[in-house]
Chains A and B, each alone.
Chain A
Amino acid sequence: MPDTVTLKIKRQDSETSDSYWETFTIPYIPRSNVISCLMDIQANPVNAKGEEVTPVVWESNCLEEVCGACTMVINGKVHQSCSALVDQLEKPISLEPMSKFPVVRDLAVDRARMFGALKKVQAWVTADGYHDLGPGERESTSHQEVAYKLSECMTCGCCVEACPQYSLSNNFLGAAAISQSRLFNMHPTAKNIADERLDTLMQKGGIADCGNAQNCVEACPKSIPLTESIAEMGRQVSGKFWRNIFQA
């Protein structure tokens, strides 16, 4: 059993400043995860050289992998830091902010683009109102199983961080938003505007920018069948493609 854990953390003081690596060595405590290590640093912010430094800034909330906040690049791969258990990680542990989003500070990034993508694909049900209009449509259990899985997406950013087609400089919507458009295109009432979602997917940054590397589905912490979603939306836009040519 080791006595200490060493973390190499890529830090950045502000959006525009340069990044630098800082090493921290903290006492090893069984059943730690990356978050608890960061918390230990917070409670005693001293780096490996013994210098007092500012505590590392990161983003987290639920700590049980349902909120999506604490995503970062751990030992080169994107992962939620709450479910990254120290005992299962190679040491020293390296922590970096996600590379596909502007860094806010240290390990915290700004994922506004992902929420913007949800607006673009109109990921919502258009309701007549919030008064009592009786129950929704009946659905089969198999339909629910597919929809539930897609609906577990927590906009954490793993899929797009791992995607070689998604970059700071382009405007690709990414697997998460494509998968959400599938979810809403299969909802009994949200599908009323299915064609509008397909129009969005057929623009620059849409589904045509997928390069089929399939990293998204491997990186997704919730095992959402993202490539299936991309193929399904590929089928839907193909239909729209021919309809646009021959029926519009």
Chain B
Amino acid sequence: MFFAEWCFMDSHFLTRRIHSLTGVVPVGLFLVYHLYLQLYLHSGAETYNNSVNSFYDSPLAIWALVIVVYIPLFFHAFLGIHLIFETTVQPSYTYFSHLLYWLQRISGIGVLLFIIAHVWNAQLGPWMAGTWGTHFEHLSSGFSNPESGMITKTVYLFGVLGAVFHFANGLNTFCMTWGIALTPKSQIRIRIFSILLFLILSASSLYALAAIW
């Protein structure tokens, strides 16, 4: 890989480090920003639609979205799937961190499927149907649809919580990988921090969902 040689590094190492990095910056940060935006669901349709649409006012918005979010996201996802195929299933080792290891991988796959559905439902679908701009109405009608509403709600609930878990737990691994948390004590601190982060983000997203439930 040309880039790797240019950085004087093995591409294997480099791709995994980029994988680790992209999970946090920018994808993780985007997740936090995105969840924050959803709190506007409580402010009513107009405010919510405006706050979302204001992002797309910029002519570079779509490019920013692709470069800053979609490319890193799908790089992270596809390498992640590749990595899952290299693991061995050893259920007899019932340690908590081993459980988290598997939850991270399972949530990764789940979140990827959710994101694809979500992007189709909330972005590509409305574009193609020409109903772009009325985000609040689109979301709430999907949730209250008598036929598919319950399914949509369930998918969103698990998708959002899965993404939050994947991010919070991933941050923990990120601190190991980059040598930020060295000692067992600091690793416990980071674990507590990531559990708190998981709880806060989960609460925030549940609260947001409650607005249109």
Does chain A touch chain B in the assembled complex, meaning CB atoms less than 8 Å apart?
yes
Contact indicator A208/B13 (Cβ below 8 Å): yes
9-residue interface stretch from B114-122, B132-140, B141-149, B182-190? B182-190
Residue A170 CB within 8 A of the other chain: yes
Tally of A-B residue pairs with Cβ under 8 A?
106
Contact indicator B95/A218 (Cβ below 8 Å): yes
User: Complex Cα distance A248/B7, Å?
Assistant: 8
9-residue interface stretch from B36-44, B68-76, B151-159, B173-181? B173-181
Closest beta carbon of chain A to B81's beta carbon, Å: 14
Closest beta carbon of chain B to A42's beta carbon, Å: 27
Closest to B86 in A: A170
Q: B interface, by DSSP: helix, strand, loop or mixed?
A: loop
Contact indicator A227/B176 (Cβ below 8 Å): yes
User: Complex Cα distance A210/B97, Å?
Assistant: 13
Contact indicator A203/B13 (Cβ below 8 Å): yes
Closest beta carbon of chain A to B94's beta carbon, Å: 9
Q: Given contacts A76-B92, A213-B97, A215-B95, is CB(A203)–CB(B187) below 8 Å? A: no
Closest beta carbon of chain A to B173's beta carbon, Å: 4
Chain A residues within 8 Å of B97, by CB: 212-215, 218
Closest to B95 in A: A218
CB contact list, B1-31 vs A, under 8 A: 7-10, 12-13, 16-17
Q: Given contacts A164-B101, A165-B87, A167-B86, is CB(A215)–CB(B93) below 8 Å? A: yes
Residue B98 CB within 8 A of the other chain: yes
Chain A residues within 8 Å of B54, by CB: none
Residue A58 CB within 8 A of the other chain: no
Residue A175 CB within 8 A of the other chain: no
User: Complex Cα distance A204/B98, Å?
Assistant: 23
Chain A, residues 172-188, CB within 8 Å of chain B (1/0): the string is: 00000000000000000
Contact indicator A213/B98 (Cβ below 8 Å): yes
Interface set of B (CB-CB < 8 Å, partner A): 7-10, 12-13, 16-17, 83, 86-90, 92-93, 95, 97-98, 101, 172-173, 175-184, 187
Interface set of A (CB-CB < 8 Å, partner B): 76-77, 99, 162, 164-167, 170, 202-204, 206, 208-215, 218-219, 225, 227-228, 230-238, 241, 244-245, 248
Name 23 A/B residue pairs within 8 A (Cβ), A-sorted: A164-B90, A203-B10, A204-B12, A204-B13, A206-B13, A208-B17, A212-B97, A212-B173, A213-B98, A215-B90, A215-B98, A218-B93, A225-B184, A228-B183, A228-B184, A230-B176, A231-B176, A231-B181, A231-B187, A232-B182, A234-B179, A237-B179, A238-B178
What 3 A-B pairs come out closest when comparing CB atoms?
A235-B179, A76-B92, A214-B97
